[in-house]
Structure 1
Amino acid sequence: MAHYTHDSAIVDEGAQIGDGTRIWHFVHVCGGAVIGKGVSLGQNVFVANKVVIGDRCKIQNNVSLYDRVTLEEGVFCGPSMVFTNVYNPRSLIERKDEYRETVVRRGATLGANCTIVCGVTIGEFAFVAAGAVVNRDVKPYALMAGVPARQIGWMSRYGERLDLPLSGEGEARCAQTGETYLLSGGECQCLQQ
């Protein structure tokens, strides 16, 4: 099985693209990019050279993935969300040697129009609300909202809010899957993994 590329898309020679990936209208994939299986790149997506996209990610319209961004398996990037790669950009100062690595762990969701400031790690199955600005690392399963983003809760792997306190100890079940989540020492984990 091969991948699908719309006629208006540009895929530079050397790009590695997995089976079943769909590359839609006006997408540009640079030659050094590595894209997994079953990925969807929506209209007007840009993928730079030093980008790795894991299997089954969904990148919605108008998202640019710049150098040093890594998405693990199953990451969702909402429409028009933003990644940066230089912390303090200036047009008159060259800073290409200062790109900071951004890692988005397995299953995380980045909501529409959110901004991920470079140099952070978004934990697995974390959920960043639409319009939020993330400027520090995010814990696994954390629900983040606001400018700057702060944690307002916990989310299940299914994408449902969990009835857990922000800190301390607790246990909750996902209403959709029945999976059990344990909060201990300020960290949340799914017991069914």
Structure 2
Amino acid sequence: MTLQTIVERSLSMLGYPAATHELFNRYSDSTQLDIAPSARISIGCLLRRQVELGPHTRLSRGCVLDGDVTIRKRTNLEPNCDLVGDVELGKYCAIARETTFQQTNHKTSQPSMQIRFYDEVLDSDLPPTAEGPITVGNDVWIGTRATILSGVSIGDGAIIGAGSVVTDDVEPYAIVAGVPAERVKWRFPKAIREKLLDLEWWEWDRDEILDNREFFERELREAEDIPTVSI
């Protein structure tokens, strides 16, 4: 077992306390952490390579972030989520338990597809393939055990049904479900979607959000239901 592995496991068991981040970055050859002081990481999580966690992000027990991973402000990951490869999650997202973001895939054009075979038997390399980064917008809800595959972009305000496998881009405020995932309905009528995208409320600061409490506590059925906001 390498020193790097020992340190990773120790930090995982401790929940990556803030006092260890700078020291870890100084001595790690393969992992760099940029974690906001207000971020919360539960015991049992594992962070590898390039990981950035924004203010008030929360990782529940057993989450694995392995790649170039960025999670923006106030996004929550429930237990046992896996983010592998180049993955970016926007602000205020709700990611249910056991969701997988799989940005890299096995290469299938050579005789074997097993990375271990090339490493241990041939002393060679089988690099992974990818269709592009995974990007998730703001205010997105992803249901339990959904899988998001390489190259997918999910728009602001979208909902991904539990158990879905997302292979194509998802439009803002679309509700998709199934294997492969397809749009089943819109979260709001077009006029409301356009107003919400124009407002970009997720970019507001805390005072602006509190000043517009009425906006957040109102049911939206028609565009007129969106009150005049104060920002």
Q: TM over 0.5: same fold?
A: yes
| Equivalent residue number for residue 145 of structure 1 | 177
Aligned residues: 171
The normalised TM-score by structure 2 is 0.64
Evaluate the alpha carbon distance shift between residue 118 and residue 20 of structure 1 in structure 2; reply closer, same or farther with a 3 A threshold: same
Q: Following the alignment from structure 1 to structure 2, what is the Cα–Cα distance between the partners of residues 171 and 71?
A: 23
| Equivalent residue number for residue 128 of structure 2 | 96
Q: Does the alignment pair 1:52 with 2:52?
A: no
Evaluate the alpha carbon distance shift between residue 178 and residue 98 of structure 1 in structure 2; reply closer, same or farther with a 3 A threshold: closer
C-alpha RMSD of matched pairs (Å) = 3.1
| Equivalent residue number for residue 210 of structure 2 | none
- With 7-16 and 70-79 compared, the bigger mean Cα shift is at 7-16
Structure 1 unaligned spans of 5+ = 156-161, 183-189
Q: How does 1:45-124 map to 2 (within 5 A)?
A: 45-89=63-107, 90-92=113-115, 94-96=126-128, 98=130, 100-124=132-156
Post-superposition offset of 1:175? 11
Higher helix fraction (1 or 2): 2
Structure 2 unaligned spans of 5+ = 1-10, 26-31, 108-112, 119-125, 194-214
Q: Indicate the SS of the match to 1:32.
A: strand
8 Å contact kept, 1:40–1:59: yes
8 Å contact kept, 1:18–1:38: yes
8 Å contact kept, 1:47–1:65: yes
| Equivalent residue number for residue 18 of structure 1 | 36
- With 12-21 and 52-61 compared, the bigger mean Cα shift is at 12-21
Among all aligned residue pairs of Structure 1 and Structure 2, give the percentage whose two residues are the same amino acid: 22
Work out which of the two has the higher radius of gyration on C-alpha atoms and give 1 or 2: 2
Q: 1:131 aligns with which of 138, 158, 163?
A: 163
Spell out structure 1 runs of 4+ moving beyond 2 A: 5-14, 86-90, 95-100, 169-172, 178-182, 190-193
